[in-house]
Chain A
Amino acid sequence: MIKLQNVEKVYRTSSIETLALNNINLDVKKGEFVSIMGPSGCGKSTLLNIIGLLDAPSKGIIEIDGRKVERFNDKEIAPLRNKMLGFIFQSFHLINDLSVIDNVEIPLLYRSTNAKQRRELAEEALEKVGLANRMKHFPKQLSGGQKQRVAIARAIVGKPEIILADEPTGNLDSAMGNEIINILQSLNEDGATIVMVTHDDAMAKRTHRLIRLFDGTQVL
């Protein structure tokens, strides 16, 4: 489902070059739940961003669902992100000016889905994460755990095949963190391929496979 070959990411300023990722090779099968671990600054989030087509590699090949995408332009990448990928961020990234249901509908705005269908799908996603009773609330009225559940609902509303989670439990206490992992596990059981960046060994142990990074290099 996700294949990376010899991926390299270099950040350049006028005077400094920083190698953030070095020769990364990765193959995530359909339906796998993979976690990425490593110390701070080792390139975990950079790797996730490259897998999620949020950032471009400096070198290497990226295949998503059999398509080589590293040379795709904005016009080609946008629909791919919209249909294939769902993101969950550590700091939720909800839009505070929109209600919970409007936040969840965002991925559907960029598809040919009518308003009624959007509402139904968003309600369904919120029910799945146990927040059907908070649809009209605004993000500021929710706890951290609830915000992350809204973010999960937003990630799954378009029924993407791949879910990318960047430290989804990083800002939550352990009880809330467990709840979020339970939801992710159940999504995985329903068929979603999940790649999750985490600092937490306990969370990583609940995934199928662990990828370790150190200084931008994959550690076996």
Chain B
Amino acid sequence: MLINYIKIAWKVLLRHPFYTFITLFGISLTLTVLMVITSFLDHLFGAHYPETKRNKTLYIGMVIQTDSARTSISSGPATFSFLNKYAKSLKTPEKVTIFSNFSFSNTYVNGKRIKLNTKYTDAEFWGVTDFQFLEGKPYNDQNIRNGDHVAVITDALKNQYFEKGDENVVGKNIEIESVNYKVIGVVKGSPPTRVYTYSDVYFPYTAPKSNYENKGIRGRYIALLLGKKESDLDEIESEFDSGIARIPKSEIGDVKKFPVLIIKADRYFDHFLNSLARDETQKIFFYAIVGLVLLMLMGLPAINLVNVNVSRILERASEIGVRKAFGAPSKALLWQFIIENVFITLIGGVFALIFSFAIVQMINASGWIAYADLTINFTVFLISILVCLFFGLLSGVLPAFRMSRLKIVDALKS
């Protein structure tokens, strides 16, 4: 029966090339937009280089100090010393790294300024992340203890700072903010959309200007807690929470103004969401807006397709009459038209997949996002297929329902 339905759907597509073009164009365009958005969201929130272990990592990126009514809020990253005390000391994570947010800096080559992003990290940073070393190696605990002026730079900075064609720059010096650092390693850079790990230069946290010895709670450092496996994260989170709950009031500055201290170790997406929406009401509002945008994005073309589908199916009233006359129940006809619509949507989905792949390659090659690595991977593909099916159902159910209710005698007359 399914083959019979698909045969018909195919013939109907061939019968009116212009209708088919309009239908497929509409479906493909909508799905292309959705697939590229999905690919971009995957790029932002998925586990990609160098944060390939994101699924088993918790992020501590924000310290929130507020009053009991949450009317005034002061927030920002933590100090190194705070994270060293409350994150580094945790027993449940496999590894813990502490590193600074990136900051802006300059270096000069032949009088020409190069704008840089710099970051201070511990040695564990290289074990929690998966940076690919093209040359040399990462700095270790010994370098950190010694306060060595060493740096890991990206391949892009290497090409800008050192003469092109210079094969190996390990051991060479790079001067940043009037301090000479010895290049110890060169890594493949990461896109700036990986905000916590992205930088052009990485220094040990004991290097100058890191401010790692600052006291108090609020500073410029972030910690990542890596579990052995994803299922460990709940246990790590609860160990961290119980440590935070025991922080003595004396350690919290300005207790009178901000008596409430909120510090969470979150999964990456929750961490992102918590920075946008701080309570449940705001989260519901956030999801409502996302839902509304998606509905607009899918709903409007779907309504348009409903109209195209109604006129396309109306042409086939006689077929509906015949099928009913020979015993097709309304439910079978409803399914027939839904299956046909899903089939057409899937054809549109194939085109959309090809267009999306081309667009994603163009974005990656354009340099719009440095080191962009947008992909149409299995997750994106799976989500796209589900979106196709949902879209097919959305635009097919109403016309199918209307047609399946046609009176046989009226259908046969048309």
Interface-forming stretch among A33-41, A61-69, A72-80, A177-185?
A72-80
Q: A106 contacts which of B322, B329, B412 (Cβ < 8 Å)?
A: B322
Is there an interface contact between A106 and B326, defined as CB atoms closer than 8 Å? yes
B residues less than 8 Å from A49 (CB atoms): 408-409
Q: A81 contacts which of B3, B319, B326, B409 (Cβ < 8 Å)?
A: B326
- A75 to B329 alpha-carbon distance, docked (Å): 6
Cβ-based interface call for B247 (8 A): no
User: What would be 23 A-B contacts, judged by CB atoms less than 8 Å apart?
Assistant: A54-B409, A54-B412, A74-B329, A78-B329, A80-B327, A81-B324, A82-B326, A82-B328, A87-B325, A89-B412, A93-B321, A93-B322, A95-B8, A97-B12, A98-B8, A98-B11, A102-B4, A105-B4, A109-B4, A110-B329, A110-B332, A158-B326, A158-B327
Query: B residues engaging A (CB < 8 A)?
Result: 1, 3-4, 7-8, 11-12, 15, 318-319, 321-330, 332, 407-409, 412
Cβ-based interface call for A83 (8 A): yes
**Chain B residue with Cβ nearest A46:** B409
Q: Which 3 residue pairs of A and B lie closest in terms of their CB atoms, listed nearest first?
A: A82-B327, A97-B11, A78-B329
Q: B325 contacts which of A52, A83, A94, A105 (Cβ < 8 Å)?
A: A52
Is there an interface contact between A110 and B328, defined as CB atoms closer than 8 Å? yes
B residues less than 8 Å from A200 (CB atoms): none
**Chain A residue with Cβ nearest B11:** A97
User: What is the size, in residues, of chain A's interface with B at 8 Å between Cβ atoms?
Assistant: 30
The minimal Cβ–Cβ distance linking B322 to chain A, given in whole angstroms, is 5
**Known contacts A54-B325, A54-B409, A79-B327; is A97 also within 8 Å of B318 by CB?**
no
Is there an interface contact between A106 and B12, defined as CB atoms closer than 8 Å? no
Is there an interface contact between B325 and A81, defined as CB atoms closer than 8 Å? yes
Is there an interface contact between A83 and B327, defined as CB atoms closer than 8 Å? yes
A residues less than 8 Å from B11 (CB atoms): 97-98
**Chain B residue with Cβ nearest A74:** B330
The minimal Cβ–Cβ distance linking A34 to chain B, given in whole angstroms, is 20
**Known contacts A55-B409, A95-B319, A95-B322; is A107 also within 8 Å of B327 by CB?**
yes
**Known contacts A95-B322, A97-B15, A106-B323; is A54 also within 8 Å of B408 by CB?**
yes
- A197 to B132 alpha-carbon distance, docked (Å): 84
B residues less than 8 Å from A147 (CB atoms): none
Cβ-based interface call for A44 (8 A): no
Is there an interface contact between B327 and A81, defined as CB atoms closer than 8 Å? yes
- A98 to B326 alpha-carbon distance, docked (Å): 16
- A82 to B323 alpha-carbon distance, docked (Å): 10
- A83 to B327 alpha-carbon distance, docked (Å): 8
Encoded as 1 (CB less than 8 Å from any B CB) or 0, chain A from 110 to 125 comes to: 1100010000000000
- A74 to B330 alpha-carbon distance, docked (Å): 7
B residues less than 8 Å from A86 (CB atoms): 326
Which residues of A144-187 have CB atoms within 8 Å of chain B's CB atoms?
154, 158
Query: A residues engaging B (CB < 8 A)?
Result: 49, 52, 54-55, 74-75, 78-83, 86-87, 89, 93-95, 97-98, 102, 105-107, 109-111, 115, 154, 158
- A184 to B144 alpha-carbon distance, docked (Å): 99
- A54 to B319 alpha-carbon distance, docked (Å): 14
Q: B408 contacts which of A55, A79, A106 (Cβ < 8 Å)?
A: A55
Q: A107 contacts which of B15, B326, B412 (Cβ < 8 Å)?
A: B326
- A78 to B324 alpha-carbon distance, docked (Å): 7
- A13 to B219 alpha-carbon distance, docked (Å): 80
The minimal Cβ–Cβ distance linking A74 to chain B, given in whole angstroms, is 5
The minimal Cβ–Cβ distance linking A132 to chain B, given in whole angstroms, is 21
**Chain B residue with Cβ nearest A164:** B325
**Chain A residue with Cβ nearest B409:** A55
Q: A93 contacts which of B318, B329, B330 (Cβ < 8 Å)?
A: B318
A residues less than 8 Å from B1 (CB atoms): 109
Among B15, B322, B325, B409, the one with the most A-chain Cβ atoms within 10 Å of its Cβ is B325
B residues less than 8 Å from A79 (CB atoms): 327, 329
- A155 to B322 alpha-carbon distance, docked (Å): 11
**Known contacts A54-B409, A97-B7, A97-B15; is A109 also within 8 Å of B328 by CB?**
yes
Is there an interface contact between A78 and B327, defined as CB atoms closer than 8 Å? yes
The minimal Cβ–Cβ distance linking A40 to chain B, given in whole angstroms, is 15
**Chain A residue with Cβ nearest B3:** A115
**Chain B residue with Cβ nearest A54:** B408
A residues less than 8 Å from B412 (CB atoms): 54, 89, 93
The minimal Cβ–Cβ distance linking A75 to chain B, given in whole angstroms, is 6
- A95 to B321 alpha-carbon distance, docked (Å): 11
A residues less than 8 Å from B15 (CB atoms): 97
**Chain B residue with Cβ nearest A89:** B412
B residues less than 8 Å from A52 (CB atoms): 325
**Chain B residue with Cβ nearest A79:** B327
B residues less than 8 Å from A74 (CB atoms): 329-330
Q: A154 contacts which of B7, B8, B326 (Cβ < 8 Å)?
A: B326
B residues less than 8 Å from A75 (CB atoms): 329
**Chain B residue with Cβ nearest A99:** B7
- A158 to B322 alpha-carbon distance, docked (Å): 15
